[in-house]
């Protein structure tokens, strides 16, 4: 893994070339895989559940037996996929694609325990080169994963490629807090409490320090919407949730 010089940081935010970023992301999620879902609950005080439910509601999988194929990228532990499958009718099938084998292994275990083996499957793959055919899916989702992709524009092009005409892309990602006063509290919490929780629960603060830094580097909602539109999507929109802590983005392949 490339070493990141302290002189390259600004306000504590590390920088890395795309290949270096991928190696860093892989190592981060390898370390936290077993405690990933527990840490999500602790870090967000359970709010991540409501945010993910909002994403699933936006996808609107059919509640009947009509065939409906969804791909959830960077969703290794299956959190989004299980919500989609449980909300939908029997015709909906969800494919989870993740680059991290540790996360996928946990997702497969959870799918089996929930009795969803036949409705949710798991595949190893990189968001920048999805191992699926063109126009194979009716919907494509990614939750809290797009900011960890080294070449976001390439990944957006891949989402567009695998969607059928009329298919919808839905992305849930951390955003920029826009409530005066809350922004300072959010920074204090993010840079101090979250790494401390990581040290306590996972035994290592560093992965969560990286995750906080990655949030601060991610484009603001309007800029990210422009990237989605540049990839070819139409009727692009977003809405912020919880004072801007997260944003829910949408675009259609028309």
* Residue-level pLDDT at 181: 86
pLDDT for res 8: 29
Contact of 29 with 198, CB cutoff 8 Å: no
As a dihedral over the C-alpha atoms of residue 237, residue 252, residue 101, residue 92, rounded to 10 degrees, the angle is 120
What pLDDT score was predicted for residue 6?
28
User: What angle in degrees, to the nearest 10, is found between the helix axes of 79-87 and 101-114?
Assistant: 30
- Both tokens of 155, joined, read 């990944």
Look at residue 1 in the predicted model and tell me its pLDDT.
Answer: 27
* pLDDT at position 13: 41
Per-residue pLDDT, 56: 97
Q: How far is CA 222 from CA 31, 56, 181, 218, in A?
A: 32, 22, 22, 11
What's the CA dihedral at 196, 201, 203, 206 to 10 degrees?
-50
- pLDDT of 57 reads 96
Q: What is the pLDDT of residue 96?
A: 98
According to the model, what pLDDT value does residue 195 have? Answer: 85
List, in order, residues 6 or more apart from 106 with CB less than 8 Å away.
Answer: 33, 34, 36, 76, 77, 78
Question: How much is the pLDDT for 33?
Answer: 67
The CATH architecture annotation of domain 24-252 reads: 3-Layer(aba) Sandwich (3.40)
What pLDDT sits at residue 24? 60
Q: Can you read off the two tokens belonging to residue 207?
A: 């992965």
pLDDT of residue 30: 67
CA distances to 8, 119, 135, 230 from 105, rounded to whole Å, are: 35, 16, 27, 34
Residue extents of the structural domains in the chain? 24-252
Please give the pLDDT value at position 5: 29
Tens-level pLDDT at each residue, the chain (254 residues): 222 222 223 223 444 456 566 666 666 666 666 666 777 777 788 899 999 999 999 999 999 999 999 999 999 899 999 999 999 999 999 999 999 998 899 999 999 999 999 999 999 999 999 999 999 999 999 999 999 899 999 999 999 999 999 999 999 999 989 888 888 888 888 888 888 887 887 787 887 788 888 888 899 999 999 999 999 999 999 999 999 999 999 999 99
């Amino acid at each position: 893994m490339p070493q990141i010089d302290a002189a390259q940081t600004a306000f504590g935010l590390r920088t890395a070339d795309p290949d270096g970023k991928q190696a860093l992301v892989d190592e981060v999620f390898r370390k936290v895989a077993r405690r990933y879902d527990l840490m999500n609950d602790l870090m967000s005080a359970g709010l991540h559940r409501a945010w993910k439910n909002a994403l699933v509601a936006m996808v609107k999988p059919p509640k009947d037996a009509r065939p409906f194929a969804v791909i959830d990228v960077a969703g290794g532990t299956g959190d989004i996929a299980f919500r989609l499958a449980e909300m939908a009718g029997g015709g909906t099938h969800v494919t989870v694609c993740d680059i991290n084998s540790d996360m996928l292994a946990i997702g497969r275990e959870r799918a089996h325990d929930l009795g969803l083996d036949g409705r949710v499957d798991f595949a190893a793959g990189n968001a920048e080169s999805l191992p699926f055919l063109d126009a194979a899916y009716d919907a494509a989702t990614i939750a809290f994963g797009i900011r960890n992709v080294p070449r976001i524009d390439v990944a957006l092009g891949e989402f567009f490629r695998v969607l059928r005409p009329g298919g919808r892309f839905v992305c849930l990602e951390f955003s920029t807090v826009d409530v005066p006063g809350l922004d300072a509290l959010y920074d204090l919490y993010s840079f101090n409490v979250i790494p401390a929780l990581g040290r306590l629960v996972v035994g290592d603060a560093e992965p969560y320090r990286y995750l906080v830094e990655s949030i601060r580097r991610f484009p603001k909602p309007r800029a990210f919407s422009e990237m989605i539109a540049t990839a070819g999507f139409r009727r692009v929109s977003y809405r912020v949730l919880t004072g801007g802590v997260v944003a829910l983005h949408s675009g259609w392949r028309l």
